[in-house]
Amino acid sequence: MRSLWPPVVLAPLAALMLAACGTATPVMSTADSQDDRSATESRSEGPAAFTRADAHAFSAFPLYWLGGSFDRLPLTAITRRNDAAIAGQDVRADYVGFVYGDCVATDETGCPPPLEVQVWPACQRALADYALTPTGDPVPHRMTRVRGVPAASFEQGLRLELYTEDVTVVIFGLVKQSVLRAAAALHAANGLASDRATLPQPVRGAMRGHLRCAT
């Protein structure tokens, strides 16, 4: 959000207002963001915000999530990025993110929510896209199988990627066990995804980054 007023003027005014009101509670509190309404609405930013209904009706690629809550963590936000392509970058940010649980962010200090599931089309993000250095050194990871499909574990198991059909499902978690439980609990968020215990195998070329996105 960008203010129309110079911050040097607004900051002291804001401090005065808060003092006069006898409260320092920010507009959006942690408690507010944990209730089910905010989980459904994601963020109250008008018609462009991505909602649970939007996720159910989403038809661009299969979506997987953990439902309205997971491990006592409520669904607190649904994010949607669909950036424009950038020259020199093969991977375009194009995903739906399901955020579970909350954390307390402060000035200059964002915080990682306890769990997030991001679903990307494999034509944008695939294992073959990763490189640590420009000479192609690999980003450290360990290959495994989860729910019957190839998976890669990054960041000491706190990031797990499942490659199924034509999507890459990325799980970010607080502890490795929670990430694995989340992988086991993934289920369909829209009609294109599968609810079977064994997920569909990745389509030919998906993991090698050979898929082309429909324009």
Give the footprint of other proteins on residues 135-174 (CB under 8 A): 135, 137, 139-140, 154-155, 158-159, 161, 170, 172-174
100 counts as binding other proteins under rule CB under 8 A: no
Q: Find the binding residues for other proteins in span 34-73 (CB under 8 A).
A: 43, 45-46, 48-50
Q: Count how many residues are written for the chain.
A: 215
Residue recorded with tokens 């375009």: 92
The answer to whether 18 contacts other proteins (rule: CB under 8 A) is yes
* Residue 79 backbone zone (phi > 0: left; psi -120 to 50: alpha; other: beta): beta
Which CB, 53 or 175, lies closer to other proteins? 175
Binding mask 71-90 for other proteins (x = CB under 8 A): ------x-xxxxxx-x-xxx
Q: Kindly give, in sequence order, each residue whose CB lies less than 8 Å from that of residue 169, ignoring residues fewer than 6 positions away.
A: 64, 117, 118, 119, 161, 162, 163, 186
Of the pair 52, 125, the CB lying nearest other proteins is at 125
Q: How many CB atoms lie within 10 A of CB 165?
A: 18
C-alpha distance across the termini of the chain, in Å:
31
Contact partners, residue 96, CB within 8 Å, separation at least 6: 50, 55, 58, 63, 78, 79, 80, 118, 119, 189
Nearer to other proteins, 10 or 53 (CB): 10
Touching other proteins, residues 186-205 (CB under 8 A) = none
Nearer to other proteins, 69 or 130 (CB): 130
Q: Select from 67-75, 130-138, 143-151, 196-204 the region that touches other proteins (CB under 8 A).
A: 130-138
